[in-house]
Amino acid sequence: PPFSSLSASSAGMVTTDWMQNSTTVTIVLYTRQKGLDARRISTSIDGNFFHTRVYSDDWLRCYDYQIRLAEDVHPFCKPTVSLTTGKVELVLHKKQIALHWQKLGDTEEVCQGFKPLGQAPPFFRRSVLTRKSRVNHNVFLCTLTFPTGQNFHVPVGWHVQLKLCLEDGTEVIRSYTPVTSTLSSCETTDCPSISESPTALHFLIKIYANGPFTSALDRLSEGSSSIEVSNPIGNFVGSQLEGKNLIAIAAGTGITPLVRVAIDVLRSNRRVSLLFFNRTQDDIIWKEEFRELELKYPDTFKSWHVLSEPDDEWPGLRGRISKSVLAATILSEDYHDVGSNFACVCGPSDFTLETLRLLDSVGYTQETVHAFSG
Ligand code: NAD
């Protein structure tokens, strides 16, 4: 290359370096982490601000690197990573070709190596609310689209934080798990895109009249750029489910983390049994879509709806989570092979605790159940 390597700095366990040629500047992170792939690297270019987060191979720890670049770059960066050495190369494209950079920029944040995910400061990226469509009387499907320069992957079962600045200047942050834009997208190109770097994420958001975040969101119109989105957070380990059938037990908006998990299982020709608790028929999110999924996958998808406040006409199951509801559904003969099942649970905390207690009593263990909480 016309220009040679210029400097190297040490940052605890991760060493950084950079180099340039006439068209590109390459930041190199020697993470010494084996088993990394490009999905574990998120990047953000916003003006001359560059952020990258590298997740460890088990996704439990991360390394952050942030710099205000000395010169302008195009908002494009596709990380490459060596599986065997953990060397990460981030190639940035100079706006001014042949300009020789005297320095890379001013480093704003460099971890001293990898740290537990929970200890890493949140990083938020800008987004635009490009779709806000009603799903039922109080739930919206919201699509947040990212400007170019945002490269990140939300693993199945993981969530992000959404940050909204209220009219009085206070910031409110809430966690939401992305879903697919529809359930019928299961076999279309919409689904693979969610496992690639997203240009958009879809969320099912229930509006609570007294909720500061959701009532502010209720007032937003399509085109708003007031929501920022964090890097992915979570502790769900998808490999636990490998080769297993899924027992999905959800209440209310607790269905959201289970959507992508269920679609993943269905796509690998394994069975999904969904037990979904709601107050009334009108509260059931995607009721028709689940029905269509059942028709599409008669051998592998089965759902039961249980209502706690049904009207007189409701022909289905009634009540809350209980031993008898489990016995009539996922514990009935056809579905009760604990050894071949993995259960995922999500809903209000009392609901989740009671469901875990009941599953424990019929032989599910920590290794065969995951509860989404928080
Ligand atoms: P909701 O209040 O409308 O209740 C839905 C159903 O949950 C009820 O019909 C009932 O069957 C059951 N339920 C409610 N309270 C219960 C209790 N104390 N004991 C047993 N069962 C109970 O539900 P909603 O307003 O949609 O709230 C959904 C909940 O799921 C929220 O608490 C939310 O925080 C949680 N959630 C968590 C995650 C996550 O942790 N990743 C994601 C999404 C939603």
Q: Is the CB of 39 under 6 A from ligand 1?
A: no
CB atoms within 10 A of CB 97: 9
Give me the DSSP letters along 32-62: --TT--GGGEEEEEETTEEEEEEE-TTSSEE
In this predicted structure, what is the pLDDT of residue 294?
94
Q: Is the CB of 181 under 6 A from ligand 1?
A: no
Q: Is the CB of 347 under 6 A from ligand 1?
A: yes
In this predicted structure, what is the pLDDT of residue 208?
96
- Residue whose entry in the numeric block shows the structure tokens 């770097």: 197
Q: Report how far residue 111's alpha carbon sits from residue 115's, in angstroms, rounded to the nearest whole number.
A: 8
Q: Is the CB of 206 under 6 A from ligand 1?
A: yes
Determine the distance separating the centroid of ligand 1 and the alpha carbon of 277, expressed in angstroms. 8
Mutation choice for ligand 1 from 204, 253, 276, CB with most ligand atoms inside 8 A? 253
Which residue positions in the chain have pLDDT lower than 50?
1-12, 188-195
Give me the DSSP letters along 153-193: ---TT-BEEEEEE-TTS-EEEEEE--B-S-SGGGGSTHHHH
> pTM of the entire structure?
0.92
Whether this model's ipTM surpasses 0.95 comes out as yes
Domains in the chain, CATH or no CATH each: 7-119 (2.60.40.790), 124-230 (2.40.30.10), 238-372 (3.40.50.80)
Token duo for residue 170: 């206070």
Give the residue from 320, 292, 293 showing the smallest Cα distance to 305. Answer: 320
Give the residue from 74, 18, 156 showing the smallest Cα distance to 1. Answer: 18
- Give Cα separations from 244 to 58, 238, 307, 328, 367 (angstroms): 20, 11, 28, 21, 12
Q: Residue with the nearest Cα to atom 32 of ligand 1?
A: 348
Q: Is the CB of 247 under 6 A from ligand 1?
A: no
Ligand 1 atom with the smallest distance to the CA of 279 is 9
